[in-house]
């Protein structure tokens, strides 16, 4: 499916929460798009946004019957920002109706569900984008391009720090799918993108300091080690809550040097006095830190939908791999042992107990 370049892309957005709020604003502000529908369980929230943004031509629907939305010929694409457990059903219905799909990560709760969505996208010849947004962050993208250009030689080690702020609402954490699928999936995707391989081994240790999160059978603090066939070692450091802001760092160490991204700040002003230097706080949360990536991923999706670009950058294999590795990390933690990966599958899963999300 390709939308004519000479007209706006008609969009239906599903869910106006934390992620949906970001994409909603980007869609409304984009001259290439026209927001045709908002599908929201919370109708009051949807109507408030329609009024606030003067969206006289945008229709609102609850989630009970989405047929009129999917049958609307003015809708070219669907943007899915509802809770994770609802994604697969909406994605598959939208693809069947011939709509291009932009879906928040993860596309489905299981690797099999993810593959099913991509099977449908291929069957109907429609674009399916999984919003692993960090791939469009300019700093991370620059690191990847420079690693691939050989600037730091052979990659020996990668370190990522991804500490969330503020602590997400408990109502969200309950349905988030757990820290491995909700948070670490981003780091896993980024690391595999940099190395260009599937790791042969993953090992995770974790702890839960927050009693409310522990009661959900989830954890809030995780350390992951990955080993790749080429020899590269990667370490992921994750926390659900950093008291000082949204802490996001990446370091790639190679035979010829190192590339590093630091935390950026909303205000790049420092004060220098007798007692030292004061700098502003780092960004407070993901909408600010990754603002550019959300804009750029939407542009990429629109480029594919309108035929400016031929294919989605984040492939079926990328999405399935990040889901598989999130699952492997979770099982490593739960079983207390390294998990080996071969031929796109977890091996040595004796004693594996389905216990939680997957």
Ligand X SMILES: NC(=O)c1ccc[n+]([C@@H]2O[C@H](COP(=O)([O-])OP(=O)(O)OC[C@H]3O[C@@H](n4cnc5c(N)ncnc54)[C@H](O)[C@@H]3O)[C@@H](O)[C@H]2O)c1
Residue 42 is given by DSSP the state: -
Pick from 4, 13, 56, 8: nearest CA to 31: 8
Please report, as ranges, the residues that interact with ligand X according to CB under 6 A.
14-20, 39-42, 63, 81-84, 86, 104-105, 131, 133, 172, 182, 286
With respect to ligand X, which residue has the nearer C-beta, 86 or 161?
86
In terms of CB distance, is 14 or 102 closer to ligand X?
14
254 token code pair: 């190679």
By C-beta, is 289 or 334 nearer to ligand X?
Answer: 289
Q: Name, in order, each residue with C-beta under 8 angstroms of 15's C-beta and a sequence gap of 6 or more.
A: 39, 40, 80, 81, 82, 83
Q: For ligand X, which is the closer residue by CB, 152 or 247?
A: 247
Q: How far is CA 349 from the centre of its chain?
A: 27
Q: Rounded to whole angstroms, how far apart are CA atoms 62 and 85?
A: 17
Contact 162, 183 (CB under 8 A): yes
Name the pairing type of β-strands 201-207 and 339-342.
antiparallel
- Closest approach, Cβ 286 to ligand X, in A, equals 5
* Least separation in angstroms between CB 127 and ligand X: 18
Contact partners, residue 188, CB within 8 Å, separation at least 6: 224, 226, 236, 321, 322, 325, 326, 329
**Please, which residue, 24 or 333, has the CB nearer to ligand X?**
24
Rounded least distance, CB 224 to ligand X, Å? 19
- What is the token pair recorded at 86? 């609802």
Smallest gap from Cβ 351 to ligand X, in A, equals: 29
Which residue of this chain has its Cβ atom nearest to ligand X in the complex? 17
Handedness of CA 313, 319, 325, 326 (dihedral sign): positive
Minimal distance, residue 197 CB to ligand X, in Å:
24
Nearer to ligand X, 83 or 116 (CB): 83
Q: What are the φ/ψ torsions at residue 292 (nearest 5 degrees)?
A: -65, -40
10 versus 20: smaller Cβ distance to ligand X? 20
CB of 174 to ligand X, least distance (A): 10
Phi, psi of 293 (to 5 degrees): -65, -35
Q: List Cα–Cα distances, 195 to 220, 230, 303, 317, in angstroms.
A: 27, 9, 27, 15
Min dist. Cβ of residue 86 to ligand X (A): 4
Question: For helices 138-148 and 291-305, what crossing angle results, to 10°?
Answer: 70
**Please, which residue, 40 or 247, has the CB nearer to ligand X?**
40
Q: How far is the CB of 41 from ligand X (least distance, A)?
A: 4
Region label for 245, one of left (φ > 0), alpha (ψ between -120 and 50) or beta (otherwise): left
């Amino acid at each position: 499916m390709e939308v004519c370049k000479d007209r706006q892309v008609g969009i239906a957005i599903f869910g106006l929460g934390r992620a949906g709020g970001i994409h909603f604003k980007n869609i409304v502000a984009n001259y290439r798009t026209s927001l045709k529908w908002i599908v929201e369980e919370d109708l009051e929230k949807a109507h408030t946004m329609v009024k606030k943004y003067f969206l006289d031509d945008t229709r609102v629907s609850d989630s009970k019957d989405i047929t009129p939305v999917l049958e609307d010929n003015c809708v070219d694409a669907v943007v899915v920002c509802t809770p994770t457990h609802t994604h697969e059903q909406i994605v598959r219905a939208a693809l069947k109706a011939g709509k291009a799909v932009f879906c928040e990560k993860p596309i489905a709760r299981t690797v099999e569900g993810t593959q099913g969505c991509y099977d449908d996208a291929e069957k109907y010849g429609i674009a399916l984008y999984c919003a692993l947004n960090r791939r469009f962050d300019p700093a991370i993208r620059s690191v990847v391009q420079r690693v691939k250009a050989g600037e730091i030689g052979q990659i020996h080690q990668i370190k990522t720090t991804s500490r969330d702020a503020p602590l997400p609402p408990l109502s969200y954490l309950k349905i988030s799918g757990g820290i491995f699928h909700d948070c670490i999936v981003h780091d896993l995707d980024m690391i595999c993108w940099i190395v260009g391989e599937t790791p042969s081994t993953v090992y995770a240790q974790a702890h839960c300091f927050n009693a409310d999160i522990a009661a959900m059978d989830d954890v809030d603090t995780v350390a992951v080690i990955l080993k790749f066939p080429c020899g590269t070692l990667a370490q992921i450091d994750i926390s659900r809550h950093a008291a000082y802001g949204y802490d996001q760092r990446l370091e790639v160490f190679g035979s010829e040097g190192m590339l590093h991204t630091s935390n950026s700040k909303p205000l790049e002003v420092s004060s220098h006095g007798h007692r030292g230097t004061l700098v502003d706080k780092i960004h407070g949360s993901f909408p600010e830190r990754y603002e550019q990536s959300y804009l750029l991923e939407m542009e990429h999706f629109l480029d594919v939908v309108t035929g400016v670009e031929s294919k989605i950058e984040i492939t079926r294999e990328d999405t399935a791999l990040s889901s598989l590795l999130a699952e492997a990390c979770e099982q490593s933690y739960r079983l207390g042992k390294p998990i080996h990966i071969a031929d796109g599958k977890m091996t040595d899963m004796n004693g594996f107990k389905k216990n939680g999300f997957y």
